[in-house]
């Protein structure tokens, strides 16, 4: 057994045991709810598609109504230049429906963009947002071409977070930076340490770092001390000629140890929220057997590659579903089905509570 596979096995046993001992979705009997990430509704969100079965969702108020009807306890969504009237409506909706709202937003791109960032944070806080999520960029192996690019990327990331920090601190809110297939966990930790703020931590995505040859348990161990919020998902994998493919699948249908990962999150941050990100799309291609991939992965061991490919072989899905060939209505229906299946599993098997008018 290679080193990465051994670490995955040991970590899975350890985290699963923790989940059994304390309950995946509760801590000391406290109720925990399932939130929804707006990307789980991407085919409906502000789309032109319209149907009696699956109408488009055009405003945050419509999405909050959807969350309440489906039993979600909260929403993580994009925030922007809301009017004062919109802020008031959102705040009243959250209070009336007992929902939480987390803001997803762009970091400042330069010093001249700080005012825009702080204005959006301030308006969102007035609406009831206390936790924000952001990301640094795209996919390392697609957007960067050399380790020099990676170094510059990290330097720019540190500056952008530095520009954001003063406003977050002044307004008393927290921001979680997502592990977004750009930086490995140890690199993201270095960026967060360089900023050195209690107001900036991590939005832990359960599956993203697989694309960078990290086991989810390894990602959890590295980023747990910085945990602010989460993107909960399950993943399926399949070998390909250039490496492997990975895709989000309904909770409970994939390979991740969800009870163990969630329990570890609760230990790391008892106030953590669990937000479902079930993205309905084609599988992502991870070209870890191509030369270009390794031009931006200097220092990553052959053991990490071998362990990941072994995991893909041992846990491969029979087939990964794809968008191609489906009509827009069929895609929207598929999206709704995958969200519903994920929520049902979370309520029945992961200890999370159903809320809103959809509740029992």
CA 144/CA 153 separation, integer angstroms: 9
CA distance 48 to 185: 38
Question: Quick one: pLDDT band at residue 29, thresholds 50, 70, 90?
Answer: low
pTM of the model: 0.91
Over its C-alpha atoms, the chain yields an Rg (Å, rounded) of 20
Q: What is the pLDDT of residues 76-105, one digit of tens each?
A: 999 988 899 999 999 999 999 999 999 999
Q: What is the mean pLDDT of residues 120-137?
A: 97
CA separation for the pair 360, 355 (Å, rounded): 8
Q: What is the DSSP string of 333-348?
A: HHHHHHHHHHHHHHHH
Among 185, 220, 273, residue whose Cα is nearest residue 15: 220
Cα-based distances in Å from 209 to 19, 103, 255, 269, 360: 22, 22, 14, 20, 36
Coil vs helix vs strand at 45: strand
Q: Could you name the CATH architecture of 3-17+33-350?
A: Alpha-Beta Barrel (3.20)
User: What is the predicted pLDDT for the residue at 360?
Assistant: 37
Residue range 155-209, pLDDT digits in tens = 999 999 999 999 999 999 999 999 999 999 999 999 999 999 999 999 999 999 9
Tell me how far apart the alpha carbons of residues 8 and 262 are, in angstroms, rounded to a whole number: 16
Indicate the SS3 state at residue 168. Answer: helix
Secondary structure of 132-146 as H, E, C letters: EEECCCCCHHHHCCC
At 114-127, the pLDDT tens digits run: 999 999 999 999 99
Which long-range contacts (C-beta less than 8 Å, at least 24 apart) are formed by 191-197? 191/136, 191/154, 191/157, 191/158, 191/161, 192/161, 192/226, 194/158, 195/158, 195/161, 195/162, 195/165, 197/165, 197/168, 197/169
Rounded Cα distance between 68 and 70, Å, is 6
Average pLDDT over residues 147-161: 98
Residue with tokens 């390894």: 218
18 pLDDT band (50/70/90 cuts)?
Answer: very low
CB atoms within 10 A of CB 295: 15
| Residue 281 Ramachandran class (φ > 0 left, ψ -120 to 50 alpha, else beta) | beta
Nearest to 221 by CA among 15, 9, 2: 15
Q: Residue 279: its pLDDT value, please?
A: 97
Q: Identify each DSSP E strand in the chain by its residue range.
A: 34-37, 74-78, 100-104, 131-134, 174-178, 200-205, 227-231, 234-240, 243-249, 274-276, 284-286
- DSSP for residue 282: P
Sketch the domain layout of the chain as residue ranges.
3-17+33-350
Please report the DSSP string for 259-273 in residue order. HHHHHHHHHH-TT--
Over range 352-356, report the average pLDDT.
86
Q: Which residue reads 């057994």 in tokens? A: 1
Other Cβ atoms closer than 10 A to 3: 12
């Amino acid at each position: 057994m290679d080193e990465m596979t051994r670490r995955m096995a040991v970590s899975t046993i350890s985290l699963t045991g923790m989940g059994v001992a304390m309950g995946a979705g509760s801590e000391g009997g406290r109720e925990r709810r399932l939130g929804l990430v707006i990307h789980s509704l991407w085919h409906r969100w502000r789309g032109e598609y319209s149907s009696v079965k699956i109408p488009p969702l055009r405003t945050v108020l419509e999405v909050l109504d959807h969350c309440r009807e489906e039993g979600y306890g909260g929403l993580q969504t994009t925030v922007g230049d809301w009017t004062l009237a919109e802020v008031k409506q959102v705040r009243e909706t959250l209070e009336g429906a007992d929902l939480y709202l987390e803001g997803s937003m762009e970091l400042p791109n330069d010093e001249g963009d700080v005012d825009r960032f702080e204005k959006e944070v301030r308006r969102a806080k007035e609406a009831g947002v206390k936790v924000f999520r952001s990301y640094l960029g795209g996919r390392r192996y697609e957007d960067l071409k050399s380790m020099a690019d990676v170094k510059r990327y990290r330097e720019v990331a540190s500056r952008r977070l530095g520009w954001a920090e003063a406003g977050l601190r002044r307004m008393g809110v927290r921001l979680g930076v997502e592990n977004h297939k750009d930086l490995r966990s140890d690199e993201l930790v270095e960026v967060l340490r360089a900023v050195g703020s209690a107001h900036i931590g991590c939005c832990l995505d359960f599956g993203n770092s697989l694309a960078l040859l990290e086991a989810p348990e390894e990602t959890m161990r590295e980023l747990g001390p910085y945990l602010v919020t989460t993107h909960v998902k399950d993943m399926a994998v399949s070998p390909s000629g250039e490496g492997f493919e990975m895709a989000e699948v309904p909770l409970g249908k994939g390979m991740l140890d969800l009870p163990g990962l969630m329990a570890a999150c609760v230990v790391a941050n008892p106030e953590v929220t669990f937000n479902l990100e079930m993205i309905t799309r084609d599988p992502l291609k991870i070209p870890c057997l191509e030369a270009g991939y390794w031009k931006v992965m200097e220092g990553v061991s052959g053991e990490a590659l071998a362990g990941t490919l072994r995991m893909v072989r041992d846990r491969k899905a029979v087939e990964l579903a794809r968008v191609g060939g489906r009509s827009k209505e069929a895609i929207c229906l598929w999206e709704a089905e995958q969200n519903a299946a994920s929520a049902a599993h979370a309520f029945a098997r992961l200890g999370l509570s159903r809320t809103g008018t959809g509740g029992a």
